[in-house]
Chains A and B, each alone.
Chain A
Amino acid sequence: MANIRHSVALTLEKCKGCTHCLQRCPTEAIRIRDGHAQITTTLCIDCGECIRTCTYQAKRAEYDPFECIQDYKYKIALPAPALYGQFDHLDDINYVLEGLLKIGFDDLFEVAQAAELVSGYSQRYLQREDVKKPVISSACPVIGRLISIRYPDLVANVLPLHPPVDMAAKLARIVALKEHPELKEEDIGVFFISPCPAKVSYLKDEAEKGRQLVDGVLSMGDVYKRLVQVMKREEKPQPRSRTGCIGIRWAGSGGEAKALSKHRHLAASGIENVIRVLDSIDNDTLPDLDFIELNACPGGCVGGVLAVENPFVARSRLLYVEKNMPQAVNWDFSKKPTNTFVPGDYFLEEQLTYDPPQALDDDRRQALVKRMQIERLVNELPSLDCGACGAPTCRALAEDIVRGLATHDDCLMLGKFRQVNKERSV
């Protein structure tokens, strides 16, 4: 099992041990033990659902403190396009870019700019003959993790291209070194302004695998608070932006897919919808499609737990700011691609692999025996799925018992259930 990082954590003192997150977690990764939530790391996909549902703010996202940018001489911000949706009545994204320079960055590279390039190359990639369809977007890291633990037949469908943030980080460094020959590599600090904890985990994971793309991942909410203090919007800002609508639309569900309008595509967002779509692809019950965009957060990246504004408001603001923007700046999307060339830099170094959570038993005979025991236990348990035992469902408790992680006594309702059954049969 790969030892992957997580950026969703628990503040122990705040957790009351209630069952809200338990029943919302799409992979049943949470158990309540010793009065508080515990996350099984091999099952957690960093979707942030538990952060959204926690009434006591006990679940939190982890990211780097803003001050960490001070460790570098030349600080470059990589704003995710969702950032532009956080401000009221914004008619020019250059206000935001100027704001970033005011709060301490020396330079910036818009992730939306890289997104246009990734869209362009994705178009070409989809034209290739040998591609397994439907191609599934690689942009949301939650989707990659979900596929790698649950859908062995779909790992080969995932777009093998780097998501925009990776390319923005690579390009930002190249441009900075070219424009400032006096800088040394180690002077440059590249910081992603992230809407979600999943991107934090993803980028830290890449660094651990020897691919240090960024030097820190900041919270969009944190940066937002600083930006609103300096964005006075009195004078017209300098035109710094190098992106068009195609790039910034990646912030919302459907944006990436729309850029591939020459192909048959589908977009879904929200983890439950995503699972429905993945199940249909796995089961081959979808109509023929070329491309599928999936975002774990409702509404797309604007729905990330580190964003400030409600995703629907953010989407409407993005539509507003789009009005004054060109369609695209980095690619000509009006023509169908004439070749299928994609530069090597854009390809992921490692293809996604299937990495299932622990089987019931490594020995298949034992696994079958345990599976029978689970079935027997499920019939004994009251089928209330109340969560009082600390497991999300009676079946999950049965499985925990068989795995040696829980006991019958954890079921608080069993005595009562037996009593009722006895009375019924009398």
Chain B
Amino acid sequence: MSDIIQLHYDVDGTDFAAAGEASMKIKKELRSLGFPQDVIRRIAIAVYEGEINMVIHADGGTADVNVGLDEIEIILADTGPGIPDVEKAMQKGWSTASEEVRNSGFGAGMGLPNMKKNTDEMVIDTEVGVGTTIRMKVYVA
């Protein structure tokens, strides 16, 4: 009985304003299921950062959440450009965001480090020209 509930969300890559919708829905869902606030907060941050990345750096993608009793798994998948150097991408402050994106308040190079910080497991599977899949887990204490 590990992943009892599977939630699926599409992240629209053309709509900047819609980024954040999946994380909001997931947050509401987890609240109604009575998960601890801290767990919900960390998951919301991780999904939000991932969503924004899929909108800014890829053409959108999908967010799947498997809600289990002891852990919650998040899978963010896109078929965008991929990340050539994951180690660099994971460094705080490293970003390929354009000037335009930076002017709208993103591109500080903090998204991936923030996802790492807020989750208990994080694995990035990426291939240039094919896409990126990020799997994260948060343990429910």
Residues of chain A having any CB pair with chain B under 8 Å: 152-153, 279, 282-285, 287, 356, 359-362, 364-365, 367-369, 371-372, 375
Contact = CB atoms under 8 A, between A and B. Distances in A.
Interface residues of B, number: 21
Interface string B42-62: 001000100000000000000
A32 to B, nearest CB: 23
8 contacts: A152-B31, A283-B44, A356-B31, A359-B32, A367-B33, A368-B33, A368-B67, A372-B5
B137 interface: no
Contacts of B128: none
B69 A368 contact: yes
Given A152-B37, A279-B24, A285-B20, A364 B69 contact: yes
A359 B33 contact: yes
A364 B68 CA distance: 10
Nearest to B34: A359
A61 to B, nearest CB: 30
* 4 tightest Cβ-Cβ pairs between the two chains A and B: A359-B34, A368-B4, A283-B24, A283-B20
Q: Say what secondary structure dominates the interface of chain B.
A: mixed
Contact of A369 (B4, B20, B31, B32): B4
A277 to B, nearest CB: 13
A368 B32 CA distance: 10
A284 B48 CA distance: 9
Given A367-B34, A368-B33, A371-B33, A283 B69 contact: no
B35 interface: yes
Contacts of B105: 287
B23 interface: yes
Nearest to A365: B69
Contacts of B4: 368-369, 371-372
Contact of B32 (A153, A282, A284, A360): A360
A368 B4 CA distance: 7
Contact of B23 (A283, A359, A369, A372): A283
B41 interface: yes
Nearest to B67: A368
Interface string B1-39: 100110000000000000110011001000111110100
B31 A364 contact: no
Given A152-B37, A285-B19, A365-B69, 10 more contacts: A153-B37, A283-B44, A285-B20, A359-B32, A359-B33, A360-B33, A361-B34, A364-B33, A364-B69, A367-B33
Nearest to A368: B4
A283 B33 contact: no
A102 B120 CA distance: 70
B58 to A, nearest CB: 19
A369 B68 CA distance: 10
Candidate in B32, B48, B105 with the most chain A CB atoms within 10 angstroms: B32
A35 to B, nearest CB: 29
Contact of B41 (A153, A287, A368, A369): A153
B42 to A, nearest CB: 12
B48 A360 contact: no
